[in-house]
């Protein structure tokens, strides 16, 4: 990577605004657009530029050490805040306020990235004052898929940067640029729902096609019995477990890289101190960034699993759509509506196994 925003595809206007803003930032920015449009990648890159000594302008040398740590999720002056449940609760809101008033660790500025802010709900008022007038050293970067009524006042206090939906052709083109064949790139783009990050993850997943076929086979395997619905739900949950392997492998590589980097830093930090201070400094260096990396990995695992389940439900719905012209249109429409309701309920009911058992039982009788 030679440019901080290399991972942001098809958002030239948004990237241009963020590049300019990094040179003379204000207190808060709102990145708004549908899921999968590159907001998270843009927020990481923008945070790196905000903390960079050159505002992200590295020429042809590639990112500096500060930027590399931000992009890897290891910089102490970037705080990433995500919801703990179906919405952003008051506990998370209070933690945001507390973090905003802590001094930066390394430099003169810190960046707080707030994810899924369209789910702020009743906690908006608790955050409004801090977002409106944070300490001079704090910059907020707020991510939202859309602007619900309770966010209108908050949005008015931020500089809004819009992100447009990516077309399937744009996602496929980005995959082909990384060496993936045209046909496979098109299939991955479609299966990812136009979300480039997920398309890249699926590209590294050898079991993806088998899982897709397993979901699509469900209509033909239902037999109106509860036992079969339970058994098939168990199979689908097992597939969800298997789908995490590519992400787990990437995360394990990140842990190894951080461990090696910390070991090198520990040698340097401990070498010039007395015996008493050497032990504390070495321990701190060995553990630097570990907790933050572990938390980021947990968030990624949760998000990956939800994405995989939603994709599976989309595959299942597509299998029923193929029946719309084969004489069973009414049953197919009812089945698709049932699948859609289950997909929407996942936001509030994360019980995968029970949700799938109930869905398959209903589909069994519809089919």
At residue 124 the predicted structure's pLDDT band, cuts being 50, 70 and 90, is low
pLDDT at residue 269, as a whole number: 62
Residue bearing the bigger pLDDT, 121 or 336: 336
**CATH entry, 12-162, from 3.40.50.300, 2.40.50.140, 3.40.50.450, 3.40.50.720:** 3.40.50.300
219 in Cβ contact with 359 (< 8 Å): no
Q: For strands 28-32 and 78-81, give the pairing.
A: unpaired
> How far apart are alpha carbons 40 and 303 in whole angstroms?
13
CA-based diameter of the chain, in Å?
Answer: 82
Its pTM surpasses 0.75: no
pLDDT, one tens digit per residue, over 161-173 is 999 888 889 899 9
Query: Rounded to an integer, what distance in angstroms lies between the CA atom of residue 29 and that of residue 164?
Result: 16
Question: pLDDT at position 113, please?
Answer: 93
Domain residue spans of the chain? 12-162, 167-203, 207-245+298-366, 246-295
pLDDT of 307 above 90: no
What is the secondary structure of 205-255 as a DSSP string? -TTHHHHHHHHHTHHHH--S-HHHHHHHHHHHHHHHHHTTHHHHHHHHHHH
């Amino acid at each position: 990577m030679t440019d901080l925003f290399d991972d942001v595809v098809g958002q030239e206007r948004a990237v241009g605004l963020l590049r300019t803003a990094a040179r003379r930032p204000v207190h808060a920015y709102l990145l708004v657009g549908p899921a999968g449009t590159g907001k998270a990648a843009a927020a990481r890159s923008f945070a790196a530029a905000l903390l960079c000594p050159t505002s992200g302008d590295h020429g042809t040398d590639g990112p500096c050490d500060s930027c590399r740590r931000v992009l890897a999720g290891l910089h102490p002056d970037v705080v990433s805040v995500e919801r703990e449940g179906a919405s952003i609760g008051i506990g998370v809101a209070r933690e945001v306020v507390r973090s905003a008033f802590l001094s930066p660790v390394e430099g003169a500025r810190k960046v707080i990235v707030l994810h899924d802010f369209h789910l702020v709900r009743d906690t908006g008022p608790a955050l409004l004052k801090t977002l409106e007038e944070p300490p001079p050293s704090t910059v907020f970067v707020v991510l939202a898929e859309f602007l619900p009524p309770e966010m209108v006042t908050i949005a008015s206090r931020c500089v809004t940067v819009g992100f447009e939906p990516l077309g399937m052709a744009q996602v496929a083109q980005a995959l082909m640029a990384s060496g993936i064949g045209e046909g496979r790139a098109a299939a991955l783009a479609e299966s990812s729902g136009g979300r480039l990050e997920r398309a890249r993850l699926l590209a590294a997943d050898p079991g993806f096609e088998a899982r897709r076929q397993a979901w699509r086979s469900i209509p033909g395997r239902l037999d109106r019995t509860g036992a079969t619905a339970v058994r098939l739900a168990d199979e689908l949950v097992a597939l969800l477990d298997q789908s995490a392997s590519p992400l787990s492998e990437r995360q394990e590589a990140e842990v190894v890289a951080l461990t090696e980097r910390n070991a090198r830093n520990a040698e340097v930090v401990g070498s010039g101190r007395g015996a008493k201070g050497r032990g504390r400094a070495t321990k701190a260096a060995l553990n630097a960034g570990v907790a933050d990396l572990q938390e980021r990995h947990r968030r990624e695992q949760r998000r990956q699993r939800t994405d995989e389940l939603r994709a599976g439900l989309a595959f299942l719905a597509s299998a029923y759509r193929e029946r719309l012209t084969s004489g069973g249109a009414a049953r197919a429409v009812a089945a698709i509506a049932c699948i859609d309701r289950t997909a929407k309920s996942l936001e509030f009911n994360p019980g995968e196994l029970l949700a799938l058992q109930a869905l398959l039982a209903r589909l069994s009788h519809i089919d």
